[in-house]
Chains A and B, each alone.
Chain A
Amino acid sequence: MDLTLKVWRQADRKSKGNFETYQIKDISPDSSFLEMLDELNEQLIREGIEPVAFDHDCREGICGMCSLFINGRAHGPGHETTTCQLHMRKFKDGDTIVIEPWRAGAFPVIKDLVVDRGAFDKILQAGGFISVNTGNAQDANAIPIKKFQSDEAMDAAACIGCGACVATCKNSSAMLFVASKVSHLALLPQGKVEAVRRAKAMVAKMDELGFGSCTNTGACEVECPKGITLTHIARLNREFLSANLKP
């Protein structure tokens, strides 16, 4: 496959970025999208051009590090797919592909396609955990948990923290990300104890870090590579509401 790539290049946080156009030839349709970028970088190095910086690590769709906006969609075409799981056979010979970083105020661009998602860590540090010290636990089977409840908690816990939800939201809201953690823990008896405090603290931190409001457009749900649904946002809203009603 021969392709035209329009890639966002930006030297650092402060510089103004712009699109550069590159031609690339003989890409195998069996290559992954990131392998195509590897080949582009090999080509750029040969031509004496600085290679394109992009984030990636596990390349099997679970670490959440890859984060590209491809032809106007977070993680590109394809349903429930991360960028690293996207393969070139989804494109046609001769296509032009536009590649951008996540765009959100709370995720500043560091260089080229690399953004700073440290805000997600800060939200989780505000309360996205159960406060139990090592060694305090009782026997794992001491509290039976309903299967459907545990399964639903797992649905929410599948979040990989990639930030596609924020990147795709017109308000750059982090509600789906926050909701997945709040919902995962609130569904389990172990997490119920701190549920109110957790929801309050995480939402406050999210607001403080400059993420936008949720207007329930549902774009996040469409682009989430792990299929996390808006139901969890509803649960977060319930937890948050009850948090504000209780003293």
Chain B
Amino acid sequence: MKLDGKIPAGTIAEKWSNYKASQNLVNPANKRKFDVIVVGTGLGGASAAASLAELGFKVKIFCYQDTPRRAHSIAAQGGINAAKNYQNDGDSIYRLFYDTVKGGDYRSREANVYRLAEVSNQIIDQCVAQGVPFARDYGGYLANRSFGGALVSRTFYARGQTGQQLLLGAYGALNRQIAAGNVTLYTRTEMMDLVMVDGHARGIVTRSLLDGKLDTHFGHAVVLATGGYGNVYFLSTNAMGSNISAAWRAHQKGALFANPAFVQIHPTCIPVHGTAQSKLTLMSESLRNDGRIWVPKNKEDAEKIRAGKLKPVDIPEENRDYYLERRYPAFGNLVPRDVASRAAKERCDAGYGVGTGKAVYLDFQDAIKRLGKDVIEARYGNLFQMYEKIVDHNPYETPMMIYPAIHYTMGGLWVDYELQTTIPGLFAIGEVNFSDHGANRLGASALMQGLADGYFVLPFTIQNYLADQLSLKRMDPAEHPEFKTALEQTRSRIDKLFKIKGTRSVDSIHKELGHIMWDHVGMARTKENLEAGIEKIAKLRDEFWQNVHIPGRDDTINLELEKANRLADFLELGELMARDALHREESCGGHFREEYKTEEGEALRNDKDFMYVAAWGYKGAGKAPELNKEPLSFEYIEVKTRNYK
């Protein structure tokens, strides 16, 4: 398939203006004739639904939680980037664009990233107008802080709850449109399938999580805002319900899935405590501003610590290995996320880990000595408290233990400049698409992308599609054959799951998948390991379809059925991720292949052969997917090797 990114003409700074000036729009009186379906109520979904409804479109929005406000955008801590240059430190739209492309290791689409940087300032304006209580200084103006991968201070924040406050802003806008009758909200409702009519996306099949009732809904267009797929690893910082099913169903119907191997592993998470663990908690990147990361220099000390015979405070300074400062003197503890994660894994694999062996120390003693406990408490008090609640250690007295964990997925449904997938009428916004972060996302850029797509990009670009659909009359899903067929297919899929009546619980299989993914498609990948992983995933998928056990009935809340539905899709996605990782014979961003590294062990890109987006077409479960390539070119940025030494 030839992939057309539909990049508008003009210089990079003119492209978005040129696009808006020449695109088709729907006239105000006609907007109410269009139904738009939005799936997901996080930053992308809520902002898109509210903005579309304000314009006059009729919107239906769906979430699996009991209210839109619980979507996982709510959990983002650190902040949101924008090129406001309020600090007068030399920031600009170009610089934000440059940092994002470089941080993504030159695997994102230039025009999309520039537009993201361009609308970033409007996002901050909009959020303030909605009443988002961003941090301010004593003069009453907005405050900023710094994040990794940038030389300026451009991150806006609301304490450690920026995602929550931004989502509540978008949720408020959504509530206003619900009250006005322009948006219909469906909670505790999960999308089960995409309905296609004559090659276009025209609706969805849903299942009520309360009583199992299946339903169909028509839309002139369908927008997926369903988030990332980190839960394929079972343990991640994602919410328990976060899943890929909506996007995977679209993929099965023809939407290409791009760069699935690009996964972000966050270096500072609270380590795994045992087999009952259900999820991982992030400790904000900002801690690396003052915390120093180390492990014991001698293996014997590490062994004694693991056996409980030594405490970290017993290790004298000269017997500590501050390995990030040793390996990366220029950036030290503030190297980007992918670099810090790999370095922690390297030390633990070599036998220097602490705790269970899979942890390193993040130590604040020097900072407390230098600045005083009060300053550290003012900066990180809520995080220290959160750590103490979970681990029951006081980080003021003993170093924190941290370990990398799955956090964000850069890959997702392939979209063009208009955020339209390869299925006409199907759009993907926020984390579920692939477009803006390349092979690695910078901190505080996920919130920016979700809101950019929802408030300022999709509401325009979707009209270029809808303007051509004016003659399409609303369909009655109860009568239309394609809708009925899709509903029947969903019904038989659920029946099939119930009929298996095996012996294994859904979670036991999910945990096994998580181990395979972590061991084979994790931080350090090799050809042999990936090939072995593909085989194991295929076997586990067979095991699932032969031996999973789903208790209870379909006509009531059934958490096991919900989980099984989602796991079935993760079992296919996991294999695609391994295949993508296997085919990409280079190391870039979060994708690290052991065979492709420099003599010092750093990631080695291969721009000659792999400077493209890998967009995979579905050929059936267990069948080799079809590879399509969208070549990437960088006209406005010189492509370099990332160097943090």
Contact = CB atoms under 8 A, between A and B. Distances in A.
A128 B137 CA distance: 26
Interface in B197-242: 210, 237, 239-241
A185 B137 CA distance: 19
B72 interface: yes
Contacts of B552: 50-51
Contact of B158 (A45, A133, A154): A154
B65 interface: yes
A16 interface: no
Contact of B281 (A60, A120, A139, A140): A60
Interface in A140-167: 140-141, 144-147, 150-151, 153-154, 157-158, 160-161
Contacts of A132: 126, 129-130, 173
A222 interface: no
Given A12-B556, A157-B168, A125 B175 contact: yes
B500 interface: no
B142 interface: yes
B172 A62 contact: no
Given A31-B274, A51-B551, A111-B556, A130 B172 contact: yes
A152 to B, nearest CB: 9
Nearest to B68: A121
Given A60-B279, A117-B67, A144 B140 contact: yes
Contacts of B136: 144-145, 147, 150
A35 B557 contact: no
Contacts of B549: 45
A188 B172 contact: no
Interface in B86-134: 86, 122, 124-131, 133-134
Interface residues of A, number: 80
A49 B549 CA distance: 12
B209 to A, nearest CB: 10
A64 B556 CA distance: 23
Contacts of B455: 134-135
A190 to B, nearest CB: 5
Contacts of A12: 556
Contacts of B237: 60
Contacts of A111: 556-557
Best-surrounded residue of B54, B140, B171, B456 (most CB of chain A within 10 A):
B140
A55 interface: yes
B131 A190 contact: yes
B139 A161 contact: no
A87 B141 CA distance: 40
Contact of B130 (A48, A61, A129, A147): A129
B175 A141 contact: no
Given A117-B66, A135-B126, A56 B240 contact: yes
A208 to B, nearest CB: 14
A184 B237 CA distance: 29
A56 B389 CA distance: 18
Contact of A64 (B70, B129, B557): B70
Contacts of A145: 136, 140
B84 interface: yes
B106 to A, nearest CB: 31
Main secondary structure of the interface of A (DSSP, over half): loop
B164 to A, nearest CB: 6
A234 interface: no
A65 B65 contact: yes
Interface in B514-560: 549, 551-552, 556-557, 559-560
A206 to B, nearest CB: 15
Nearest to B185: A121
A58 B239 contact: yes
Interface string A33-68: 011101101100110111101011111111111000
Contacts of A247: none
A138 interface: yes
Interface in A12-37: 12, 27-28, 30-32, 34-36
B140 A146 contact: yes
Contacts of A55: 66
A57 B278 CA distance: 11
A124 B172 contact: yes
B133 A153 contact: yes
Best-surrounded residue of B69, B158, B282 (most CB of chain A within 10 A):
B69
Interface string B441-471: 0000000000000011001000000000000
Interface string A81-103: 10001010100000000000000
A110 interface: yes
A112 to B, nearest CB: 8
Nearest to A44: B551
A215 interface: no
B389 A138 contact: no
B507 to A, nearest CB: 7
Given A110-B557, A132-B130, A145-B136, A57 B386 contact: no
A121 B187 CA distance: 11
Nearest to B138: A147
Interface string A218-242: 0000000000000000000000000
Nearest to A39: B276
Contacts of A31: 273-274, 276-277
B74 interface: yes
Contact of A65 (B70, B278, B507): B70
A111 B459 CA distance: 39
Nearest to A57: B239
B161 interface: yes
B472 interface: no
A212 interface: no
A191 B240 CA distance: 34
Given A31-B277, A58-B240, A116-B66, 9 more contacts: A30-B273, A34-B278, A38-B507, A87-B392, A110-B557, A112-B557, A117-B66, A140-B134, A151-B133
**Leading 5 A-B pairs by shortest Cβ distance:** A144-B140, A129-B172, A137-B129, A137-B125, A154-B133
17 contacts: A30-B273, A39-B276, A49-B551, A51-B552, A55-B66, A57-B72, A57-B239, A61-B386, A87-B392, A110-B557, A111-B557, A117-B66, A121-B68, A130-B131, A147-B138, A153-B131, A154-B158
